[in-house]
Amino acid sequence: MNEISLIRPIRLSDLDRLCELAQDSGPGFTSLPSNRELLETKILASEAAFQQVKADPKGASYLFVMEFPQDNRVVGVCGIEAAVGRREPFYHYRLGTVVHASRELGVHNSFQTLYLCNDYTGCTEVCTLYLDPEYRKDNNGGLLSRCRFLFLAQFKERFPGKVIAEMRGVSDAQGRSAFWDGLGQHFFSMEFSEADYLTGIGNKVFIAELMPKHSIYIHLLPEAARQVIGEVHEQTIPARKLLESEGFRYEEYIDIFDAGPTLACELKDIRAVRKSGYVKVHIGPYQHHSTSFLISNTSLQNFRCTAAQIAPSEGRITLTAELAHQLMVNEGDKVRVVPLKSRTRS
């Protein structure tokens, strides 16, 4: 087997590395702000979430890291927010249509609009996905993103029925957003990076105080702002394609700062949730298979997940002793498995 990459819950000892990843992620990555104190708070909240026996009705935050356990290299991070908007408002622009018509004049015009809303309140969000560029290969990205779906499948009672993912919108090399320049800055009188940072550290009161309360006519925005509505940053294109292969779809909701699309899917309809199932562990020699499978244990506090070219057969899967040790499972234990990628588009 190749070197094992493993998903596990984040620990406070990962703080230094998480700060490095946050710094590298750059502007527009709202859920991973470069703020050590806040990141420490996020880790502590995640540790508490994994210890909760019962789900918190107001939602909880779960953070995971990708690690190469052979030398404790942490190379990526991802997260799940169990119920957004229950502790603080969760804003989007909803795209709509307004018709202006006059029968007498024979005029009938349709206009696209943006309306500030909280429609996704209570949904589960998959978020905070960032992988060190050096490791964006060998199915690492697929493992880091999709591991969350096996966790959702295993602990469905902790999560509402709909899952969303906010995609990073278009910005240039200097972090400037054409959408922000065309709309947001007129209401906030600050740079995009500052507004984005304030949101990332949880200061969202200013949004309700300063955002327009009425519909915004899109055709009145500058052309550059209109062109990026619902589009993703070039570095986010693979993440969007991955989510769409799992069943996520754009529902005409965008980020209020950079106009990035929000994708959504019912939990039960996510491919990796729908097609995953249990098999029993058999410990033996490595048996190579042409298809990679996601494999996770069934533990909450000690959740572990990996991807390997090992296939289940007749209700069991053969793991090497090393891989079983990393997944914290023994002979006869149950693991959850699903093909890493969809063979046909779901």
Annotated catalytic residues are: 233
CB of 163 closer than 8 Å to CB of 123:
yes
13: amino acid identity, one letter: S
Whole-angstrom distance, CA of residue 291 vs CA of residue 298: 22
- Residue 30 burial by Cβ neighbours in a 10 Å radius (0-12, 13-18, 19+): buried
Whole-angstrom distance, CA of residue 251 vs CA of residue 243: 14
Of how many residues is the chain composed? 346
How many alpha carbons fall within 13 Å on the CB side of residue 142?
Answer: 21
Closest by alpha carbon to 126, among 274, 20, 273?
A: 273
How many alpha carbons fall within 13 Å on the CB side of residue 133?
Answer: 6
**What is the 3 state secondary structure string of 12-35?**
HHHHHHHHHHHHHHCCCCCCCCCC
CB of 263 closer than 8 Å to CB of 240:
yes
In the DSSP assignment, the letter for residue 342 is -
Q: Where are the alpha helices (DSSP H) in the chain?
A: 15-25, 36-51, 140-154, 178-179, 185-188, 192-200, 205-210, 223-227, 237-245, 271-274, 321-327
